[in-house]
Structure 1
Amino acid sequence: MKNPNGYGSVYKLTGKRRKPFIATKTANLEGGKQKRVVIGYYETRAEANMALAEYNRNPFDLNLNKTTFYQVYEKMIKQTNEVLSEKTLKAKKSLIKTFEPIYNIPIKEVKLLHLQEIINSLTCSYGTIYLKKSLCSQIFQFAMKMELVDKNYADLVDINKKNEKVVERIIFTEKEIEKLWELTELQEAEMVLVMIYTGMRIGELINLKIKDINIKERYCIGGSKTEAGKGRAIPISNKIMGIFEKYINLDRTYLFETPMKKKIQYNNWRELKFMTLMKIIGTKHTVHDCRHTFATMVSKTSASKTSIKKIIGHKSFETTEKVYIHSNIGDLRKVVDEL
């Protein structure tokens, strides 16, 4: 059935889209001109018709020259709150308060200068400022979809990195490492020792599979995060060979698993295992301190800079060196055996 004149329309866009149905309404612009403006995009025709009906019951300003920054935010949240968690909605409500000075300014008139001044006035952490900028960018992106603006000024805002929080890295002391060796009946203590003596990140370790370990030649294939780190040969020090041998022949996929033979989840492991372990040995460390400890220890050996970078995975090198590792794994083993 055709909608009445002035009611608006719903139709389906071409191509593969997550939300292919669009609801539109004709807005009256200054000077007597008219322009069809998007109310929103939807997964089904029924949702689009409901949105159009809701607009006609409770219309908001579709005038390109009058729709304010905060009105765009409200519309964006209204269209997406069905897929946002309560926690996420609460966070967005907190973040949007930063932009209160421009709430009532038509978004078409909000420029980079407005946004940069607001960001420059903030004294919170770099991470929090980044989240505020990200929300602003989402608002502008939504406004672009509604054809209210043609540029996302939020993406051009600079964040002063002086607010970036610097995490102090503290290496494990010899005494702390000795305590870890005394607690090797705990798998979490063994995992920490493996990270300390290999330089692996926790994500690399919990993803290390039995099939990628060569006990005979004392190395494993692992790595993540950077191109230099992926698929690299990681030598196994004689000091931790016993830990590898303990698990290598067990019926499991990963070197370290949960008691139920499931893959370890980092957040659970950190909160329930690592933090408790740190209390047991009477110290405070981040998980990444293990890798920092390795880098510090290996820098004191006779290893060349090239060997160190290859082990840690901080610099890319030729594919042949990654694949044909037998030519230099012996040199890398000598490095970790000096630890």
Structure 2
Amino acid sequence: MKNPNGYGSVYKLTGKRRKPFAVAKTIKLSGGKQKRVIIGYYESRKEANMALAEYNRNPFDPETYKTTFYEVYEKMIKQTNEILSEKTLKIKKSLIKTFEPIFDVPIRDIKLVTLQDIIDNETCSHGTISLKKSLCGQVYHYAMKMELVNKNYADLVDINKKKEKVIERKVFTGEEIEKLWKLSGIQEADMVLVMIYTGMRIGELTDLKIKDINLKERYCIGGNKTDSGKDRIIPLSNKIMDIIYKYISSDKTYLFETLRGKKIQYNNWREKKFMSLMGEMGVKHTIHDCRHTFATMISKTSASKTSIKKIIGHKNFETTEKIYIHSNLNEFRKVVDEL
């Protein structure tokens, strides 16, 4: 059946093409001139007819229609660039790489099944996948504001929690810790020992500034992951004080730095230092095993559950507790000295 005048047309292109059906429409330009433009290309005639019908219901600029997924992402980042921290921008740049297969695809042409396939093929943790889905949702939300799409397909993507990779946590054995002490003097070995005897996360340790270390009272102020763990008092065991003293210098900002005096970056340290150290020792551990080891060791001491939570950072200090921190420190120091 022939379409009404001015409705547009669908026709099949010659040759072998993945999307052989073209949708064309004559539109009016500014000044009264008319121009026949291609709305898009589709795999089947049915899909092309549906696209033409959708265009007639909700006309759009054919040139804008070609805006790709990555172009939308770039526009979104450019608009929010000034209000995002450098760290947040870096995370987004890392997460968006997951969607590289659709970077050059017009966002209007991306189907839910494509987004679902991308997420299903991810092997990272459920938390990271959630972040990737969230970023995709932000891109689609921005595309809706640009009137490029009518639906946020990212909201419909299913994250199968059953596929979540369970990371096996295992503690460093006494023999393995002894190996680390024999390697003390090598910065990465000293960093692992400090994490094992303080319970600090790697990000907390690399963020630790010398000015936040109280050598006389044997504690430092650190923590950056959660509200309950931020700026907590971390007691320093006598066993690692020689290490702490060794790395303190008036010309440094952070306790542990690169050879060039720069802040240590997690990914670089993990791949080039930590994994190499574990290989040299002939063991297999994740960085978080250090914190897990600390939690296991401290649970075997005389410490109360409340003290353990405060030291590890699973429960925030109340104002009154911070006022009486010095009385708590005595208990905390005794606990870590038992490790």
Give the TM-score band, short-chain normalised: 0.5 to 0.7
- Pick aligned residue for 1:94 from 88, 101, 122: 101
1:79 aligns with 2:71: yes
Which secondary structure state, in structure 2, belongs to the residue aligned with residue 328 of structure 1?
Answer: helix
The aligned counterpart of 1:312 is 312
Shift of 1:327: 2.3
Alignment of 1:1-339 (within 5 A): 63=55, 65=57, 75-77=67-69, 79-80=71-72, 91-94=98-101, 122=120, 125=123, 130=130, 133-134=133-134, 137-138=137-138, 140-147=140-147, 151-155=151-155, 157-322=157-322, 324-339=324-339
Distance across 1 between alignment mates of 2:191 and 2:276: 14
Letter in 2 for 1:258: T
Distance across 2 between alignment mates of 1:225 and 1:146: 35
The aligned counterpart of 2:85 is none
Letter in 1 for 2:179: K
Question: Which sits farther off after the overlay, 246-255 or 297-306?
Answer: 246-255
Shift of 1:165: 1.2
Shift of 1:74: 5.2
Q: Is the 8 A contact 2:65 2:148 kept in 1?
A: no
Letter in 2 for 1:192: V
Shift of 1:307: 0.4
Shift of 1:63: 2.0
Distance across 1 between alignment mates of 2:148 and 2:300: 60
Shift of 1:267: 1.6
Distance across 1 between alignment mates of 2:315 and 2:56: 50
Deviation per CA, 1:206-264, whole angstroms, max 9, x where unpaired?
Answer: 11111111111111111111111111100001111111122234531111112222221
Distance across 2 between alignment mates of 1:223 and 1:213: 13
Which secondary structure state, in structure 1, belongs to the residue aligned with residue 68 of structure 2?
Answer: helix
| Structure 1 residues 124 and 257: CA distance shift in structure 2, 3 A | closer
Q: Is the 8 A contact 2:115 2:154 kept in 1?
A: no
Deviation per CA, 1:92-113, whole angstroms, max 9, x where unpaired?
Answer: 243689xxxx9587xxxxxxxx
Which secondary structure state, in structure 2, belongs to the residue aligned with residue 75 of structure 1?
Answer: coil
Which secondary structure state, in structure 2, belongs to the residue aligned with residue 224 of structure 1?
Answer: coil
Distance across 2 between alignment mates of 1:73 and 1:104: 12
Shift of 1:321: 2.5
Identify unmatched segments of 5+ residues in structure 2.
1-24, 41-51, 78-91
Distance across 2 between alignment mates of 1:179 and 1:67: 70
| Structure 1 residues 196 and 135: CA distance shift in structure 2, 3 A | closer
Distance across 2 between alignment mates of 1:211 and 1:90: 37
Q: Is the 8 A contact 1:231 1:322 kept in 2?
A: no
Question: Which sits farther off after the overlay, 190-199 or 58-67?
Answer: 58-67
Identify unmatched segments of 5+ residues in structure 1.
1-26, 37-54, 106-113
Question: Could you state the TM-score of these two structures normalised by the residue count of structure 2?
Answer: 0.67
Size of the aligned set, in residue pairs, is: 279
Distance across 1 between alignment mates of 2:160 and 2:270: 31
| Structure 1 residues 57 and 200: CA distance shift in structure 2, 3 A | same
Shift of 1:77: 3.4
Question: Which sits farther off after the overlay, 132-141 or 209-218?
Answer: 132-141
| Structure 1 residues 123 and 218: CA distance shift in structure 2, 3 A | same
| % identical equivalent positions | 60
Q: Is the 8 A contact 1:235 1:329 kept in 2?
A: yes
Distance across 2 between alignment mates of 1:329 and 1:210: 19
Which secondary structure state, in structure 1, belongs to the residue aligned with residue 55 of structure 2?
Answer: coil
